[in-house]
C-alpha cells in the first residue's frame, strides 16, 4: 500500500506503507505528510477558509511498488481559521503565564502510582513565555498502559461556531535500560473523543504518534454548553524502577474562540 495526495498550494510526500494482507486493516500516523505555507490574514475572509485536498491510496501486488492493482481517492476538506481575526471572540485564553494551572487539574486514568499524575506550571518547554502547563505520570506496575489526563470545566458561549485550540507536546519515559512506547493522545470533552492521534497496542517500544515537538489541534465544540475539556496521554513502559520513570506532556496557549 502507498499513499500520496494533491491540492493547490500543498506539497505532499509519497509514503510506502508496506504489506497489508487481504481482509486485514492497519492504522498508521503520517507525520508531516503534507505542508503548505500559512495563509496571510487577508486570505481568510472573516477569519475562515475552506479548501479541498485529495488523498490517493494505491495498492500494488509487488514489494517494489511497480505493479499497480487499484487506486482509491478521497476528498478531504481542510478548514483554516485565523483566531486573531476581529470576527472571532476569545472566550478562554489559558497561557499559564501567571505561574498557575489556570483551573486545569490532573486525573489518573490507568496505572499511575500514588501521588501521580501531578500538574503544575513549568518553564522547561513553552510556546509563549514564561510558563506552560505540564502533567507528569509515573507507572505503578510494568509492563502496563500508563494514562493520565488534564481537564478543565468550561462554559461555551451561545454562538454559532465555537472552536478550541489545543497546543500539546509529548515526552515518554526513558533511561535505566527501559523501553517505552508513546501510544496515543486523545482530545475529548465529557469523555467524547474529538481527535485521537496514535492507537492502542501493548507492543513494547514503538511510538504510534509524534513526540518531542509541539502540535496544534483545533476542534469544534458545542455552543452554549457546560463541558469538561480533556487531554489524555497513554504510554506503555516495559519496566519500572530507577531513574527516568516519569513521562510528561505539556500544553500552552489553550484557547476557545467563537463567532456567529
**Whether 102 and 170 share a structural domain:** yes
Cell digits for 78?
481542510
**Whether 56 and 133 share a structural domain:** no
Say what the pTM is: 0.93
**Whether 126 and 23 share a structural domain:** no
Domain-terminating residue out of 59, 81, 103: 81
**Whether 223 and 114 share a structural domain:** yes
Q: Could you tell me which residues are beta bridge partners of residue 122?
A: 132
**Whether 235 and 141 share a structural domain:** yes
Cell digits for 178?
527501559
Residue 90 Rama label (left phi>0; alpha psi -120 to 50; beta): beta
Rounded Cα distance between 66 and 244, Å, is: 45
- Report the CATH number that the domain containing residue 201 is assigned in CATH: 2.60.120.260
Domain-terminating residue out of 64, 81, 98: 81
**Whether 143 and 251 share a structural domain:** yes
**Whether 117 and 236 share a structural domain:** yes
**Whether 70 and 95 share a structural domain:** no
**Whether 128 and 76 share a structural domain:** no
Per-residue pLDDT tens digits of the chain, which is 260 residues long: 999 999 999 999 999 999 998 899 888 889 999 999 988 878 898 999 999 999 999 999 999 999 999 999 999 999 999 999 999 999 999 999 999 999 999 999 999 998 999 999 999 999 999 999 999 999 998 899 999 999 999 999 999 999 999 999 999 987 766 789 999 999 999 999 999 999 999 988 889 999 999 999 999 999 999 999 999 999 999 888 765 688 999 999 999 999 99
**Whether 56 and 125 share a structural domain:** no
- What is the number of structural domains in the chain? 2
Residue 75's domain comprises 2-81
Amino acid at each position: 500500500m502507498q499513499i500520496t495526495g494533491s491540492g493547490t498550494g500543498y506539497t505532499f510526500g509519497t509514503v510506502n506503507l508496506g504489506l497489508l494482507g487481504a481482509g486485514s486493516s492497519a492504522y498508521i500516523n503520517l507525520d508531516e505528510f503534507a505542508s503548505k505555507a500559512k495563509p496571510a490574514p487577508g486570505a481568510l475572509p472573516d477569519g475562515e477558509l475552506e479548501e479541498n485536498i485529495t488523498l490517493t491510496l494505491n495498492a500494488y501486488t509487488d514489494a517494489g511498488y511497480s505493479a499497480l492493482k487499484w487506486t482509491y481517492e478521497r476528498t478531504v476538506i481542510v478548514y483554516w481559521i485565523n483566531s486573531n481575526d476581529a470576527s472571532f471572540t476569545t472566550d478562554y485564553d489559558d497561557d499559564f503565564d501567571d505561574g498557575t494551572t489556570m483551573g486545569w487539574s490532573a486525573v489518573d486514568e490507568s496505572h499511575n502510582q500514588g501521588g501521580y499524575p501531578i500538574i503544575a506550571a513549568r518553564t522547561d518547554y513553552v510556546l509563549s513565555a514564561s510558563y506552560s502547563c505540564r502533567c507528569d505520570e509515573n507507572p505503578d506496575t510494568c509492563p502496563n498502559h500508563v494514562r493520565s489526563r488534564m481537564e478543565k470545566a468550561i462554559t461555551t458561549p451561545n454562538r454559532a461556531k465555537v472552536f478550541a485550540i489545543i497546543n500539546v507536546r509529548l515526552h515518554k519515559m526513558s533511561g535505566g535500560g527501559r523501553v517505552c512506547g508513546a501510544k496515543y493522545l486523545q482530545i475529548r470533552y465529557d469523555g467524547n473523543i474529538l481527535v485521537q492521534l496514535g492507537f492502542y497496542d501493548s507492543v513494547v517500544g514503538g511510538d504510534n504518534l509524534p513526540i518531542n515537538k509541539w502540535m496544534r489541534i483545533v476542534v469544534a465544540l458545542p455552543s452554549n454548553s457546560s463541558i469538561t475539556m480533556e487531554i489524555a496521554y497513554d504510554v506503555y513502559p516495559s519496566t519500572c524502577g530507577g531513574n527516568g520513570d516519569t513521562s510528561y506532556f505539556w500544553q500552552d496557549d489553550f484557547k476557545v474562540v467563537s463567532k456567529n
